[in-house]
Amino acid sequence: MRSADVVVVGGGNAGYCAAHAAAERGRRVVLLEKAPRAQAGGNSYYTLGATRMVHAGFDDLLGILEADERHGRTEVPPYLAAEFLADLDRITQGRGDRELAAAVVEGSRDAVRWLHELGVRYRLMYERQAHQNADGTFVFWGGTHVCNVDAGPGLMSDHERIASGLGVETRYGCPVTGLLTDGDSVVGVRAGDQEITAESVVIASGGFEANAQWRQRYLGDGWQHAKVRGTPYNTGDLIGAALEIGADRGGDWSTCHSVPWDASYPENESNRMLTNRLSRYGYPFGIIVDRRGRRFLDEGADFRNYTYAKYGKVILEQPGSVAFQVFDANSRSMLDGYEYEMPGIDPVVSNTLKDLAVAMDVDVEAFVETVRDFNSSIDTSRPLDPTIKDGRRAMVEPIKSNWASAIEAPPYYAYQVTCGISFTFGGLRGDVDGRVLDPSGAPIPGLFACGEALGGLFSGNYPTGAGLIAGMVVGRRAGSLA
């Protein structure tokens, strides 16, 4: 007799979505979580709960949102399926699996509404996806408008409560070490010295971002030094186990989601208290310089929703794998307090650019020249508007394409950043229902994958909120078949 009908390996957002969907069908579900109870939740716990989804505007979202007194002063533009698909295609430069992308986009609205009906709580993401105009109106931008109440911890608390109500058995501190097979079929898992048999196994145990050896092997030399933003338990064990029994690799194994991350805080890896507050995403309003005092990227190439996940890699490639985000008194006032005013973070502050450079320990003459050239090249004929790509350029090398504002009003601020790795883009090859495929393209009976363990959707870059929604959609689809 089987130990369960469905075994889900991994207790993050995607794993719980698979578990909910299977349990709703009356399946006996056992969810195995590698981390102890106090560190559970996977990478999902560390997120803000940002969820990119198709919708027709504010009125269409009202049915899933918690009440908020700001709603009467809020403008949320529609985010249509064609926009979502175009964003995915543009951001990945066409390298993503288009069939998988279409399934995620088309299923996004229904997946969020399904979870809301089960009890997952949502709100508008005022703090990081809206700007307040002078008349008090909140204007949303960037395609990601919704997030979870109480961020990642709230999302995972909701998931755990729902799973318990549906009769899902969750076992913490239970690392899975291998897959059980019968011929070509997967029939369970090996967890320590026990075997748990099942009709189907869903791998939802994340990527390999917390495995320094794999990072160096697949992402390249230097990546072993990146800071792990999320759970330390995503080491690729189940991806490896699936490859051993004949699964095919899927997606881009050479790139990942990596961001500008605080370099000065002593405990800047897998910090469950601070979670996302160590991210530094205000760079579109300032400049970024390396230890030589020179800029090296276009801070205003696009909304930070579409650049932040690739700029960690660029910072990693700089001398010492660090850089400095620089703002003046005006641009500093535009930064998100959630990130830039967190306790324990002390930026470098000075009333002169020379003194700031000395305190940053960068080349003083080069830095002052960089700022002078940047300031003098700004197209001041265009007004600064953070809710659109305003075309306010700084015509230097590299160009700053939007939101250029002179660094001229003291005091000046500098925040040291490095590369924080979120998750890897390569994983197992699967179809739109999460069925794991072998090299011939045939499904391996009894084996599914979802979330970060499933490769193919992202390559090189990533739009904010697409990871959680992909886990929801494909996790739900896998659980509906498992």
Residues 110, 113, 114: CA angle, nearest 5 degrees: 85
387-411 average pLDDT score: 97
Domain residues of the chain, as ranges?
Answer: 6-207+425-481, 257-420
- % of the chain with per-residue pLDDT over 90: 97
* C-alpha dist (Å) from residue 80 to 144, 307, 422, 463, 473: 12, 21, 27, 15, 17
Q: Please tell me the distance from the alpha carbon of residue 137 to that of residue 116, in angstroms, as a whole number.
A: 27
449-458 average pLDDT score: 98
Question: What is the tens place of the pLDDT at every residue in 179-229?
Answer: 999 999 999 999 988 999 999 999 999 999 999 999 999 999 999 999 999
263-283 average pLDDT score: 95
433-450 average pLDDT score: 98
Q: How many helices (H) and strands (E) does the chain have?
A: 14, 22
Task: Tell whether the model's pLDDT for residue 306 goes beyond 90.
Answer: yes
Q: Which pTM value belongs to this model?
A: 0.96
- Span 6-207+425-481 CATH architecture: 3-Layer(bba) Sandwich (3.50)
Give which of 395, 225, 230, 235 is closest to 315, Cα–Cα: 225
Going by pLDDT thresholds of 50, 70 and 90, the confidence category of residue 354 is very high
User: Count of alpha carbons within 13 Å of 98, Cβ hemisphere only?
Assistant: 7
Q: Please tell me the distance from the alpha carbon of residue 54 to that of residue 201, in angstroms, as a whole number.
A: 30
CATH number belonging to the domain at 257-420, selected among 1.10.238.10, 3.40.50.1970, 3.90.700.10, 1.10.3720.10: 3.90.700.10
CB-CB contact of 218 with 426 (8 Å): yes
Residues 230, 236, 242: CA angle, nearest 5 degrees: 145
Query: What's the whole-number average pLDDT of the chain?
Result: 97
Residues in the chain: 482
Q: Look up residue 85 and give its two tokens.
A: 């698909």
Q: State phi, psi for 267 to the nearest 5 degrees.
A: -105, 70
Question: What is the tens place of the pLDDT at every residue in 109-128?
Answer: 999 999 999 999 999 999 99
Sign, Cα dihedral of 159, 160, 166, 172: positive
- % of the chain with per-residue pLDDT over 70: 100
Q: Dump the DSSP string for 347-395.
A: -EEESSHHHHHHHHTS-HHHHHHHHHHHHHTB-TTSPP-TTS-----B-
Going by pLDDT thresholds of 50, 70 and 90, the confidence category of residue 91 is very high
**Is cis: bond before 77, omega within 30 of 0?**
no
pLDDT, position 316: 98
CB-CB contact of 265 with 344 (8 Å): yes
pLDDT, position 345: 85
Task: Tell whether the model's pLDDT for residue 467 goes beyond 60.
Answer: yes
What is the rounded (10 degree) CA torsion for 356, 360, 361, 364?
-30
pLDDT, position 192: 87
Torsion-angle region of 171 (φ positive above 0: left; ψ -120 to 50: alpha; else: beta): beta
Going by pLDDT thresholds of 50, 70 and 90, the confidence category of residue 1 is low
Residue whose pair of structure tokens reads 């009356």 in the numeric block? 26
Distance of CA 451 to the CA centre of its chain: 11
In DSSP terms, 31 is beta-bridged to: 8, 170
Beta-sheet strand order (sheet of 169-171): 169-171, 29-32, 6-9, 200-203, 443-449, 435-437
* C-alpha dist (Å) from residue 215 to 194, 235, 275, 426, 453: 30, 10, 22, 11, 15
Task: Tell whether the model's pLDDT for residue 305 goes beyond 60.
Answer: yes
